Amino acid sequence: MAATLGGTGARVAGVAFRSTGLTRLEVSKIPHHTLTVLYGKTLRTLQKMPEESTYRQSAERIVKERLDLVTKYKDPVQLEQKINAGLLEEVILHAEYELMLARNFLEWKPWEPLISEPPPNQWQWPVRAVPSGSGKT
């Protein structure tokens, strides 16, 4: 389905299209190279995180799967179909966002313990009312 998207028509093997049909998202001239570079940077960033980090494990699995697809499928139409996440330009955008998030996680260190204990029931849903007489509003 992804191969049928695009503003000026379908992406056809060996034929570049002029527009993605998405505002402010230009057609990538070298999507395979761009994705290879982004995925490589993301993997190097993830390797700086603790191995037991849930985010690292999940992101690393997805990035490695996609990088394998990028190296296996040189035809953009086939690659779009195999990744199944929209146009390659959208996949590139998502890869850029994932790299930014991974770099932010290195700064934020969400795998470290909390600085202070969370309030009781902070992680409960739905939110329970505070008992009356507790002085809190």
For residue range 58-73, list pLDDT tens digits in order: 999 999 999 999 999 9
The per-residue pLDDT for 1 is 40
Task: Tell me the pTM.
Answer: 0.77
Number of other CB atoms surrounding residue 19 within 10 Å: 12
For residue range 20-32, list pLDDT tens digits in order: 888 888 889 999 9
The per-residue pLDDT for 129 is 66
Q: What angle do CA 103, 63, 104 make, to 5 degrees?
A: 10
